[in-house]
Amino acid sequence: MRAFWVMRPGCGRIRSQPVPPVAPGEVVVRSRYGGVSRGTETLVFRGEVPDRLAARMRCPFQEGEFPGPVKYGYSTVGTVISGPGHGQEVFALHPHQDLMILPEDAARPLPRGVPPARAVLAPGMETALNAVWDARPDRDQQVCVVGAGVIGLLVGYLARRLAGARVEVVDVKPARGEIARRLGLGFAGEPRHASTLLFHASGNPAGLRACLAVAGFEARIVELSWYGTRPVTLPLGEDFHDRRLSILSSQVGVVAPRYRARWSRARRLDRALELLRDARLDALIDSEGAFEGLPADMVELSAGRRAALCHRVVYPAA
């Protein structure tokens, strides 16, 4: 079987490795599609994982260590070719690899109505769902989402769909406006409203500073960007305290506190997959490449030379 490895910062390679024996309770899955996280995966590719966070940054089924060689990734969709559920389409939090040997419960069946090619959005949907759970938006609340990447757009989509909030997505790229409007969201090039709930998902500290500037009295800002080793400077003087602002981090590694007693991570992932039935979400996948081309594609994506929302990896047919 073949897998994508980050050999060293900025350099990836497809490597072959022997197929391990299949143990009882495991399934064999042939990969069909994968998805690349434009945030965490590109940071890993550039070698920007802080040493002290290396253990917590490990993904399921990771091999190797940061900064490399390391096999990293967490969005693969495939078909069970051996074991329980033979022929079933499944999603797995697994690095980019053409053949996977998985515990049966790690292969999550795709819900009816969710095509395999769209299911690569599941990690982004799960992250967005957890953020909305953390924030608990109210019906008709004015919500501002700064950063119209995959996570920001999915947060806005869920805040409107699940909570009935009024959502405006903000991004400096005008082309993102068409996608936001397809999802039923407002769009602007800069924040225009004194919102009481804001989500920051641009990955740029300037976006978080923009949230602070426009936040209304006692507003909450949910921070979804992860900066790796980059320092972030914020204006916490001025009227930050006078307006009683709050900044809340949201991270998908644990279930939001309010839901933790009733929801496991597996159940939350299944819910994220169910939320992918909407065909409008296909607009978030605007880049595609063959598995064999992933080393070169990762160079382009991590350097920002390809302005893709979500890059889908296509595996060769059996």
Tell me what percent of the residues of the chain surpass a pLDDT of 70. 100
If you write DSSP's letter for every residue of 37-50 in order, what string do you get? -TTHHHHHHTT---
Give the burial string for 182-211 (b: 16+ CB within 10 Å, else e).
Answer: ebebbbeeebebebbbbbbbbbbbebbebb
Q: Does the pLDDT at position 222 exceed 90?
A: yes
d(CA 161, CA 158): 5
Whole-number Å distance between alpha carbons of 176 and 166: 18
Whether residue 39 is predicted with pLDDT greater than 90 in this model: the reply is no
For helices 150-163 and 122-135, the axis angle rounded to 10 degrees is: 50
Instruction: Report how far residue 298's alpha carbon sits from residue 295's, in angstroms, rounded to the nearest whole number.
Output: 5
Using CA atoms of 251, 255, 259, 263 in order, give the dihedral in degrees to the nearest 10: 150
Mean of all residue pLDDT scores within the chain: 95
CATH code for residues 2-118+279-314:
3.90.180.10
| Two structure tokens written together for 189 | 């090039």
Contact criterion met (CB below 8 Å) for 68 and 5: yes
Q: Before 95, cis peptide (omega within 30)?
A: no
Query: Residue 11 — very low, low, confident or very high, per pLDDT cuts 50/70/90?
Result: very high
Angle at 300 between CA 16 and CA 36, to 5 degrees: 60
pLDDT band for position 191 (50/70/90)? confident
Residue 89: the pLDDT is 98
Report pLDDT for 121: 98
pLDDT at 307 over 80: no
Under 8 Å between Cβ of 247 and 223: yes
The closest of 76, 52, 73, 47 to 62, measured between CA atoms, is: 73
- With a cut of 80, say whether residue 193 has pLDDT above it: no
- Name which of 311, 318, 302 is nearest 42 in CA terms: 302
Q: What are the pLDDT digits (tens) for 118-176?
A: 999 999 999 999 999 999 999 999 999 999 999 999 999 999 999 999 999 999 999 99
Q: Give the pLDDT score at 67.
A: 95
**Confidence band (pLDDT; 50, 70, 90) for 318?**
confident
Sorting pLDDT into bands at 50, 70 and 90, what band is 110? very high
Q: At what angle do helices 122-135 and 265-274 cross, to 10 degrees?
A: 110
Domain layout of the chain by residue ranges: 2-118+279-314, 124-259
For the domain made up of 124-259, give the CATH fold: Rossmann fold (3.40.50)
Beta bridge pairs of residue 64: 70
CA distance 144 to 278: 22
User: pLDDT over 90 for what percent of the chain?
Assistant: 87
Average pLDDT of span 62-82: 97
Domains 2-118+279-314 and 124-259 share a fold: no
Instruction: Compute the distance between CA of residue 228 and CA of residue 49 in angstroms, rounded to an integer.
Output: 6
Residue 74 has pLDDT above 90, yes or no: yes
Q: What pLDDT is attached to residue 179?
A: 96
Pick 59 or 226 by higher pLDDT: 59
**How many other C-beta atoms can be found within 10 angstroms of the C-beta atom of residue 305?**
8
* pTM of this structure: 0.95
Q: Which residue has the higher pLDDT, 39 or 182?
A: 182
CA-to-CA separations, 109 to 79, 125, 128, 237, 285, in angstroms, rounded: 10, 16, 20, 49, 21
In 43-111, DSSP assigns E strands to 63-64, 70-71, 76-82, 89-92, 99-103, 108-109
